[in-house]
Amino acid sequence: MDKILIIGAGGQIGVELTLALRQVYGRNNVIATDIREEHPLLKEDNGPFRHLDVMDFKEVAKMVAQENITQVYLLAAILSATGESKPVWAWDINMQSLLNVLEICRENKVKKFYWPSSIAAFGPNTPKQDTPQHTIIEPVTVYGISKYAGELWCRYYFQRYGLDIRSLRYPGLISWKSAPGGGTTDYAIDIYIEALKKKQFTCFLSEDTYLPMMYMNDAIRGTIELMEAPAEQIKNRMAYNLSAMSFSPKEIAAAIRKHIPDFTIDYAPDYRQQIAASWPQSIDDSEARADWGWQHEFDMDKITIDMLANLKKKLAL
């Protein structure tokens, strides 16, 4: 049986991925770790949790060796909007953590390693519509720069050492279970919360800013499907484009009004507008669909119904 280590399990992706992997591999075979306190949803699940600083090479190596870890998921990262406020710190965290874990996986002959990339790896010179898998990549944020550099390091460790590395370029992710972590697409979570609480939302992006988005349920399922696919089907050892839909703040507001007719939205674009403008508006993920059978399930209307229903319960409204 595989033994899985998740680093950064308290983040937006980490919480739900941990819970999903425990359903597949068994609760005690998936160790959640984070530098922060254990997330309430992980506490409720009552699976193994350890405090771990990914920048502490010796402690990470010790845990991988002592627990006989066969798969590692490295999710710890400083995201786009937060990273721009402290770029050198963000680069250090994002890159050194990856290099630490790559080396530890190599030394311990870990079977599989997962590291997420992002559409932030693209840049303003990348084709905006149906951005292809292989294209111009010139990121302009420290988060995007670190993601593209990380993709190259992942491919290097696969080619040089045979480490089975798999990665996805996530679009913006929408979830009701865990809070967003400082990303430019976070508005697409906050808008639902504010619609329920105040029936009004001020968006930090302009109304017609289109970005690739995905419901967390699809992202988690896609991640696990990628990791469980036979190695011969994984033809891309940098990161696969992954997509579900693209929409603007104006369109998501219209979807919410179908359920909350008096919801209103206004717009006050800030520094995140420039970040969003450097990213694609839609993504071509045909290689993921061809190589390992990726397909999304949630469209915007299904997301809106599920988000509002679950947030209403969570916020006790």
DSSP string of 4-52, one letter each residue: EEEETTTSHHHHHHHHHHHHHH-GGGEEEEESSPPPHHHHHHT--EEE-
> What is the Cα–Cα distance from 151 to 143, expressed in whole angstroms?
12
Contact 43, 110 (CB under 8 A): no
Question: Is 271 a residue of the active site?
Answer: no
Contact 142, 160 (CB under 8 A): no
> What is the Cα–Cα distance from 209 to 44, expressed in whole angstroms?
38
- Phi, psi values for residue 230, rounded to 5°: -55, 145
Q: How many CA atoms lie within 13 A of 65 on its CB side?
A: 11
- Phi, psi values for residue 141, rounded to 5°: -110, 155
Q: Where does the chain have alpha helices with state H?
A: 12-25, 40-45, 57-66, 80-85, 87-107, 142-161, 187-197, 216-228, 249-257, 271-277, 286-292, 300-314
Contact 150, 94 (CB under 8 A): yes
> What is the Cα–Cα distance from 149 to 121, expressed in whole angstroms?
9
- Which one of the listed residues 25, 73, 114, 143 is annotated catalytic? 143
- Phi, psi values for residue 222, rounded to 5°: -60, -40
Which residues are known to be catalytic?
A: 143
